[in-house]
């Protein structure tokens, strides 16, 4: 049986899925047709129901939970891993002054409407409504070219913005942790609810085994990871992996599910996402 599988070319995803798609583990008769896309493109594909299995932002998951269920394996949650709001014009204090101005209409570059990063921005800075959607890797350049006033960065840009003379305004992961005490849920792996229950459970088991294999053999997928890492050097690749792949990627567990439930409950209370009527999990 062949299933379509979408994930990003970022090191955390290629690290997680290397063993699965390259048959370093027994895939129990399943084959996977892999599609690589940035996270917002994957979000949009999930909204259209195009893939059997896909990585997506937890914000986007709120809009497709009737069609997709969340696997216990493969998610990106953690402490100190949140998106950063950066600028080359403002300090944190200067931003507050600007937001308090009645004429403030600052333009923010975001990595996608349905990203969890944008969700957190909406909670922390509801005043920032003038948003421009950009591919995540273009946000730093847009700031330096004065096309935007603020940038919301994710992924490996956490490690590169300072080298370009840009300044952190707020770490939205820290903001979330102080607000809730939970790990921040960034992205998860979901599977189409129309697939047989046995297939859903098998995929969950295989993704977990793929993560466990990657942890046991961390250099096994280095060529595959490097191939898709957009000229990132090896040290940055593994910083990226260490930041986003952890115990929650093996199994959400009680803590991981609590963090996700907290995110969705808070978002529903504030009217940011629609009410969800199905159990989120596989």
Domain coordinates of the chain in residue numbers?
Answer: 2-78+184-269, 84-180
Residue 56 in marked binding region: yes
Asked if the 84-180 domain carries CATH number 3.40.50.300, the reply is no
Q: Which CATH architecture has domain 2-78+184-269?
A: 3-Layer(aba) Sandwich (3.40)
* 249 phi and psi angles, rounded to 5 deg: -75, -25
pLDDT at 127: 85
The percent of residues above 90 in pLDDT, for the chain, comes to 68
Global confidence as pTM: 0.86
* 95 phi and psi angles, rounded to 5 deg: -65, -40
pLDDT at 231: 60
Spell out the long-range contacts of 51-54 with Cβ–Cβ below 8 A and sequence spacing 24 or more.
Answer: 51/4, 51/5, 51/6, 51/192, 52/3, 52/4, 52/5, 52/191, 52/192, 52/195, 53/3, 53/4, 53/5, 53/6, 53/189, 53/190, 53/191, 53/192, 53/203, 54/5, 54/6, 54/7, 54/189, 54/190
pLDDT at 90: 85
Catalytic residues: 155
pLDDT at 104: 66
Residue 54 in marked binding region: no
Residue 267 in marked binding region: no
pLDDT at 102: 53
- Residue 111 and residue 154: Cα distance in Å, rounded? 8
Q: Do 2-78+184-269 and 84-180 show the same overall fold?
A: yes
Q: Which residues of the chain have pLDDT under 50?
A: none
């Amino acid at each position: 049986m062949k299933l379509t599988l979408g994930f990003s070319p970022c090191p955390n995803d290629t690290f997680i899925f290397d063993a699965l798609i390259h048959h370093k583990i027994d895939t129990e008769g399943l084959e996977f047709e892999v599609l690589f896309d940035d996270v917002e493109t994957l979000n949009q594909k999930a909204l259209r129901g195009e893939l059997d299995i896909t990585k997506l932002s937890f914000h986007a998951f709120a809009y497709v939970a009737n069609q997709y269920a969340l696997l216990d394996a493969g998610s990106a949650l953690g402490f100190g891993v949140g998106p950063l709001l950066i600028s080359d014009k403002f300090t944190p204090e200067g931003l507050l002054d600007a937001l308090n101005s009645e004429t403030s209409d600052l333009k923010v570059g975001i990595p996608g409407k349905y990203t969890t990063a944008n969700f957190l921005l909406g909670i922390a800075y509801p005043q920032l409504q003038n948003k421009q959607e950009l591919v995540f890797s273009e946000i730093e350049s847009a700031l330096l070219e004065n096309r935007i006033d603020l940038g919301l960065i994710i992924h490996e840009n956490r490690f590169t913005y300072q080298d370009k003379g840009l300044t952190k305004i707020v770490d939205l992961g820290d903001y979330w942790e102080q607000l809730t005490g939970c790990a921040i849920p960034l992205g998860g792996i979901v599977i189409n609810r129309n697939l047989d229950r046995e297939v859903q459970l098998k995929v969950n088991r295989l993704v977990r085994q793929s993560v466990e294999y990657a942890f046991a053999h961390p250099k096994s997928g280095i060529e595959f990871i490097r191939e898709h890492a957009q000229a990132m050097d090896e040290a940055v690749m593994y910083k990226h992996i260490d930041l986003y792949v952890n115990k929650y990627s093996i199994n959400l567990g009680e803590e991981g599910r609590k963090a996700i439930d907290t995110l969705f409950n808070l978002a529903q209370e504030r009217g940011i996402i629609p009410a969800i009527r199905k159990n989120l999990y596989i």
